[in-house]
Amino acid sequence: MARGRSIPAAPSVKGVTPKIDPKVEIYIVCEGQNTEPQYFTSCAQAYGSGLVIIRPIPAAGAPMTLVSKAAELKATLLAERRRSKDSYDCCFRVWAVFDRDEHPRVDEALQMARDHKVDVAFSNPCFELWPVLHIESYGSQSDRHALQKYLSGLMPNYDHQYGAIVDFDQIKDQVDSAISRAEALLVQRELEGVPLGAPSTTVCALVKKIIENGKRWTPRS
């Protein structure tokens, strides 16, 4: 080694953290124009820790049409991700969100979703069951109109006739109770031999995914 030549100091790694961008995109193909998109957007803001991005596709039609659109979207996204050089581009899910309501061919839509591996958040009779379960247990086999009216009695800011927007701030701190109640309803319907019968909802599964992805990338102390 030549005399007098200094050896460069090794760069300090103190305080350096790996650069990651672990955001998860959740595409939600849904019936509603406002109710579901606004609820899930608020949900990601509250529980997603800035790591979950909601991409709603509202007013997508009846269940069969909606699931078909979700399956096509998933195929398109998978093709785009395979061509991408960004490894984080693969972090996405596609969900179909729809109700039993009075729609035809619901069972076919559920089977189509299974065939194409599209996740489903399904409510029977309607999505409004999910916010109700934040507030209290619900076991009535009422139709969607009765359930929507019932929610308006529990949630003064909700009016299905004039906007049908869930008051997220009222219920956001009761999500654990809602998940427990929804899962109990699903078990009860299974025991009765009517899986996904009324009242039941699998919206809890989608909300749990948002919460889990928000926690998954929490930096270590």
Q: Other CB atoms closer than 10 Å to residue 80's CB: what's the count?
A: 11
Helix (H, G, I), strand (E, B), or coil: what is residue 147? helix
3-17, 125-139, 175-189: range with lowest mean pLDDT: 3-17
Residues 6+ apart with CB under 8 A from 184: 137
Pairing of strands 200-201, 119-124: antiparallel
pLDDT over threshold 70, residue 89: no
pLDDT of residue 85: 67
Kindly report the average pLDDT of the chain as a whole number.
88
Percentage of the chain exceeding pLDDT 90: 77
Question: Contact 184/138 with Cβ under 8 angstroms?
Answer: no
DSSP for 158-174 reads: --GGGT----HHHHGGG
| 55 three-class SS | strand
pLDDT at 189 over 60: yes
- Give mean pLDDT, residues 142-162: 94
Q: Across residues 97-117, what is the average pLDDT?
A: 97
What would the mean pLDDT of 108-113 be, rounded to a whole number? 98
Task: Judge if pTM exceeds 0.75.
Answer: yes
Q: At residue 220, does pLDDT exceed 50?
A: no
pLDDT at 81: 86
Q: pLDDT tens for residues 10-43? A: 334 344 444 445 589 999 999 999 999 999 999 9
Q: Give CA–CA dist 79/16, Å, rounded.
A: 35
pLDDT of 86 above 60 = yes
The string over 3-13, giving b where at least 16 C-beta atoms fall within 10 Å of a residue's C-beta and e elsewhere, is eeeeeeeeeee
- Which pLDDT value is given to residue 162? 84
Count of residues for the chain?
221
Alpha-carbon gap, residue 158 to 134, rounded angstroms: 14
The proportion of the chain whose per-residue pLDDT surpasses 70, expressed as a percent, equals: 85
Reply yes or no on whether the pLDDT at 94 is more than 60. yes
Cβ neighbours for 210, distance < 8 A, ≥ 6 positions apart: 26, 40, 43, 44, 47, 48, 52
